[in-house]
């Protein structure tokens, strides 16, 4: 089943307690596509970059089976740029700079043959652009997933709340859930957010795992404890990519299957954070994914019956 991915394709400059990078390739859509490509080869990308974006990075996506026909390359313009600095606990970060550049006037055009996608992954981007993509779909996708962040809540909360009415699954982190709902308790926040439109809600808690909610149920998946965490950038997007990739492969959007998808999303995120940028995501193998899934099952499962 095909997945349409919209989001930033970007340059990032990252500082963590373990090191610092100059401009490297990043962006929400880049991480989503790379992570999802382990599950499906039917990934279609809609995004925008400037003339300064390296051809090789686009080729890397193509090599993973991503169709980049919907990626606009703007002559004479600069790619979206984000820089961030992580605190010592690596769970929180400060955005140092966001240069919208090509994003400022981006008008997403969804190619005709992308408009019947079964899964629409609206990656982190200006809410009005996410909506423009949704409006171009020919028939309602089986599942519309939206990811966003505090930056858009700070500047475009009204647009975001409007978009949420047409979203099936929202993925945000705990701080963003609090900001969106104006509730401190995540349980109360989830109840409020589920009344804004989404049928499902995922609240990510970084190294402490993720919650999945619907109106009646809640599921919690821990994150894999890792020896080395170098750079959490893109963890949320790799999570979303793993999740949507798994759902499209298994063609099942029930709560039970969403639970499995959350675990696959967590596994993809666990690879992402072990190196800077997209480096590690490009090197994962099916064997490595299976091995981490097994660790997950062993770590989180328990038996109430004594032997
Ligand atoms: P994550 O760590 O999963 O939240 O995603 C980090 C990625 O999001 C980086 O590669 C950035 O390029 C991208 N990013 C940062 N700020 C924004 C923003 N305001 N809108 C869209 N993407 C962003």
Q: With a 6 A CB cut-off, is 147 part of the ligand 1 pocket?
A: no
Q: Contact at 8 Å (CB) between 123 and 29?
A: yes
* SS3 (DSSP) at 222: coil
Q: What is the whole-number distance in angstroms between the Cα of residue 23 and the centre of ligand 1?
A: 14
Of 217-221, 240-244, 298-302, give the lowest mean pLDDT range.
298-302
State the DSSP code for 223: P
- Residue 287 has what pLDDT? 94
Whole-prediction pTM value?
0.96
**Taking the mean position of all CA atoms in its chain, how far away is CA 136?**
21
Q: What is the whole-number distance in angstroms between the Cα of residue 301 and the centre of ligand 1?
A: 33
Q: Contact at 8 Å (CB) between 291 and 299?
A: no
Average pLDDT, the chain: 95
Distance in angstroms (rounded) separating the CA atoms of residues 76 and 91: 37
Q: With a 6 A CB cut-off, is 124 part of the ligand 1 pocket?
A: yes
Distance in angstroms (rounded) separating the CA atoms of residues 80 and 266: 27
Residue 154 in this model has a pLDDT that exceeds 80: yes
Q: What is the whole-number distance in angstroms between the Cα of residue 142 and the centre of ligand 1?
A: 26
| Structure confidence by residue, pLDDT tens digits, 121-141 | 999 999 999 999 999 999 999
Give the residue, out of 28, 85, 98, 266, with the most ligand 1 atoms within 8 A of its beta carbon, to mutate for a pocket test. 28
For residue 80, report the phi and psi dihedrals to the nearest 5 degrees.
Answer: -50, 135
pLDDT band at 307 (very low <50, low <70, confident <90, very high): low
Residue 181 in this model has a pLDDT that exceeds 70: yes
Residue 133 CB burial class (10 angstroms; 0-12, 13-18, ≥19): buried
| Structure confidence by residue, pLDDT tens digits, 3-13 | 999 999 999 99
Give the residue, out of 6, 9, 10, 202, with the most ligand 1 atoms within 8 A of its beta carbon, to mutate for a pocket test. 10
Q: What is the whole-number distance in angstroms between the Cα of residue 148 and the centre of ligand 1?
A: 9
Q: What is the dihedral of CA 200, 190, 36, 3, to 10 degrees?
A: 40
| Structure confidence by residue, pLDDT tens digits, 27-58 | 999 999 999 999 999 999 999 999 999 999 99
Q: What is the whole-number distance in angstroms between the Cα of residue 27 and the centre of ligand 1?
A: 5
Give the helix ranges, DSSP H, for the chain.
28-36, 55-63, 127-135, 150-164, 174-181, 186-194, 235-250, 255-272, 286-300
């Amino acid at each position: 089943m095909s997945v349409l991915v919209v989001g930033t394709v970007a340059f990032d400059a990252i500082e963590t307690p373990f090191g610092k990078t100059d401009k490297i390739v990043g962006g929400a859509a880049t991480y989503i596509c790379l992570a999802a490509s382990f599950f499906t080869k039917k990934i279609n990308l809609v995004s925008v970059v400037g003339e300064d974006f390296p051809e090789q990075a686009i080729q890397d996506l193509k090599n993973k089976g991503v169709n980049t026909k919907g990626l606009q390359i703007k002559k004479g313009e600069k790619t979206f740029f984000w820089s961030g600095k992580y605190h010592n606990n690596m769970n929180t970060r400060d955005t140092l700079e966001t240069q919208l550049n090509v994003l400022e006037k981006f008008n997403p055009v969804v190619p005709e043959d992308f408009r019947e996608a079964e899964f629409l992954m609206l990656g982190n981007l200006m809410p009005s652009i996410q909506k423009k993509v949704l409006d171009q779909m020919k028939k309602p996708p089986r599942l519309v997933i939206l990811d966003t962040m505090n930056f858009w809540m700070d500047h475009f909360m009204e647009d975001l709340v409007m978009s949420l009415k047409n979203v099936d699954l929202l993925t945000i982190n705990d701080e963003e859930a609090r900001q969106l709902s104006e509730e401190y308790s995540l349980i109360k926040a989830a109840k409020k957010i589920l009344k804004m439109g989404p049928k499902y809600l995922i609240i990510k808690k970084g190294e402490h795992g993720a919650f999945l909610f619907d109106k009646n149920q809640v599921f919690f998946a821990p994150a894999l404890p890792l020896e080395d965490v170098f750079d959490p950038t893109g963890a949320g997007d790799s999570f979303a990519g793993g999740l949507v990739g798994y759902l499209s492969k298994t063609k099942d959007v029930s709560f039970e299957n969403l639970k499995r998808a959350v675990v696959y999303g967590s596994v993809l995120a666990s690879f992402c954070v072990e190196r800077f940028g997209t480096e590690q995501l490009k090197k994962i193998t099916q064997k490595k994914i299976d091995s981490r899934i097994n660790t997950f099952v062993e770590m989180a499962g328990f038996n109430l019956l004594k032997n």
